[in-house]
Structure 1
Amino acid sequence: MSAIVTEVCAIEDVAAGVKAFTLRPLDGPAPPCPSGSHIVVDMPPPGRPAAYSLLDPGGGVYRIAVKREPDSRGGSSYLHALKPGSRLRVQAPANRFPLAAAPGPRLFIAGGIGITPFIAHMAALGNDAHYQLHYAFRDAASAAFAAQLANRSERGDARVHLYESRAGRRLDLDALIAAAPADSQVYVCGPERLIAATADACVRRLPAGRLHYERFSADATAEGASFEVELVRSGLRVRVGAEESILAAIERQTALRPDCLCREGYCGSCETRLLAGNAEHRDQYLSETERQERIMICVSRAAGSGPLVLDL
């Protein structure tokens, strides 16, 4: 993937521990792209590339919001230390969380920093669109764009609903999904537990195909049994441990160094042909059709004891 060099031209505090960065490409204005798009930002070692939703994908710049994580691998802490004029390399925008063309009211469910793609979605839909936003967070002071959204709600925008757990107001997902019309399109972004709970409620309450979600990190608890992988072009067999990825096993046991930017299943750079075997797909990149013959080796595994046969 070719990188785009950008310059940080503005930094804004949008909540305690959350900054919005405006990045200007040096080779000309950023082309418009659909709401739901994200960019992958390259980080210096020991940080890894990280994906961030675009807040304003049509503005000629890349605008992202970054929460500083206490256990940051180097990404958020690095970005929070930047000053205007700093330069960053980013990958061209991609979109794995678009607004579906299907009819029906849209139900947006956000948790914490997962609000970011919905800022762009709401702007793209405009003032008259039929949607509801349900945004859950711990406290308003550290919730990105909570003050802006609270102002909208106070001015009478009945589509915006905020849930501050520290103030005793919690989102009841079961009740929310149960009350949703059967033709609703449900979108969720946030912590893994929020995505899982929303998926569970949708399975029990709505027809299939109504759920759309986005996550930018693999489930760290999703391990599995060890299995073998056959690398056909290299003539090698690799044993993948219960707590490691296929990519990590290949790097540990062979001299091969497959491309991979994110190592969390969203950038697409480690996409590999799956020649045989049943895979358990854990990525955010491949479509269901593509998963019949492709696999993202940074996060996905064998379904069971394997083996998997890969074109590597």
Structure 2
Amino acid sequence: MSARIDLVVTAVDDAVPGIRSLTLGSPDGERLASFTPGSHLVLDVPAGEGRPRPAANAYSLTGESVDPRHYAISVLRCAPASEGGTAGGGSAWVHGLAVGDRVTATPPRSAFAPVHLATRHLLVGAGIGITPLLSHLRSHVRWGREAELVYLFRDGHGAHVDELKELGGDRVTFLADRAGLAEDLAVRLADQPIGTHLYTCGPAGFMDAVVALATELGWPSSRVHLEPFGVEALDPGEPFSVRVAGDDRVLDVPAGTSLLEALEDAGHVVPNLCRQGVCGECRVDVAPGSSPVLHRDLFLDEETKGAGDCLMACVSRAVPAADGRAHLEVTL
């Protein structure tokens, strides 16, 4: 299990409808550990109020990354399953926190860091997906790097708009509709110097559109970086079966049930923390001869995913063959 840190809520900001910004500090007032821009903080979310078990949700850090006095996150309120939504309830819990409340978390870690050798950084975000990009922009301004940011949001629902204006000035472009974004990006993506890297975060459909346009204009995948929100919006996936080394049972993993949950239900103990494909705790080895793996985590790099010899049990699945069959042989 990863080390934990204790934090206390020192400020709450609900100025933007549906978005709560929290400031978290050390209970003893000490400075907190520095972090890589684009990092997230994984908060321990207790069971209760529609959450059948404790969880750990990752939220992007938006504040100063160098020797910070506090950590800052902004969280969109998503309806939990108990209210007819699809979310696990972590965001609703965050929206219920108040100044003085104590929380525990794992120290910041990054799956979306800036590439420092890039000649220029193009940041494209939508909605609450602006949060890791704000961290990027803050770092680029501090170190004098070439960077520009495009932010798409509904009128009155943009997060950190005033802060972005003050921080980025004319480096920041605000847009209010997808058509305007497509026109703007078509020009920007076609007119970037060699060595520019593209970073995007937002709803899946939005990121798909950004990546598709970049690909169409000849951007290599090595210069395009994505930060998905996590697994609350993942589709339920196709059913598959699994057998654990040393156990003769073949376990069924239905659509909508994670491999981690199936293994736990069968009595296997799998180290885990975030259950969102972020922390890397639930990594299991996959034996040769298994079906291909559908990797949906934010932890493994592309080379490791391509090898197909391991997966994150909380989010990844087996890819069915043409006959619909899919099976994994794993070692815990």
CA deviations on 1:249-279 (whole Å, 9 max, x unpaired) are: 3234x12242333322112221112222221
Partner of residue 66, structure 1: 75
Pick from 220, 224, 239 the counterpart of residue 211 of structure 1. 224
Deviates more, 1:25-34 or 1:186-195: 25-34
Deviates more, 1:60-69 or 1:183-192: 60-69
* 1:133 equivalent in structure 2: 149
The residue number in structure 2 matching 1:170 is 180
Cross-structure match for 1:8: 9
Q: Structure 1-normalised TM-score?
A: 0.88
1:38 is displaced (CA, Å) by 0.8
Q: Secondary structure at the match of 1:92?
A: strand
Structure 2 residue corresponding to 1:104, chosen from 112, 119, 142:
119
- 8 Å CA contact 1:115–1:144 kept in 2: the answer is yes
AA aligned to 1:212 is H
Aligned equivalents of 1:38, 1:261: Cα separation in 2: 14
Residue 287 of structure 2 is aligned to residue 275 of structure 1:
yes
Contact 1:182 1:207 in 2 (8 A): no
Provide the rounded CA distance (Å) in 1 between the counterparts of 2:179 and 2:205.
Answer: 18
Question: 2:258 maps to what in 1?
Answer: 245
> Structure 1's 60 and 234: CA in aligned 2 closer, same or farther, altered over 3 A?
farther
Shift of 1:93: 1.0
Identity %, equivalent residues: 30
Q: Are 1:53 and 2:60 counterparts?
A: yes
Partner of residue 203, structure 2 = 191
Could you tell me which residue of structure 2 aligns to residue 144 of structure 1? 159
- Rounded to whole Å, the distance in 2 between the matches of 1:171 and 1:184 is 19
> What is the number of equivalent residue pairs in this alignment?
305
CA contact (8 A) 1:8 1:86 kept: yes
CA distance in 2, matches of 1:183, 1:14: 38
Distance 2:47 2:35 in 1: 30
Change (3 A) 1:152 1:287: closer
Q: Gapped runs of 5+ residues in structure 2?
A: 80-84
Q: Deviations over 1:186-228 (max 9, x none)?
A: 0001111111112212222212311111113237454544322
Partner amino acid, structure 2, of 1:74: G
1:301 lines up with 2:317 in the alignment? yes
- CA offset digits 1:36-71 (Å, max 9, x no partner): 111101111144321111112231322111222234
When residues 74 and 224 of structure 1 are mapped into structure 2, their CA distance, relative to the original with a 3 A threshold, is closer
**Cross-structure match for 2:23:** 22
Partners of 1:137 and 1:61 in 2: CA distance: 27
**Contact 1:32–1:60 (8 Å) recurs in 2:** no
- C-alpha distance in structure 2 between counterparts of 1:256 and 1:283, whole Å: 21
Partner amino acid for 2:294? E
Q: Secondary structure at the match of 1:236?
A: coil
Unpaired runs of at least 5, structure 1: none
Q: Secondary structure at the match of 1:93?
A: strand
What does residue 288 of structure 1 align with? 302
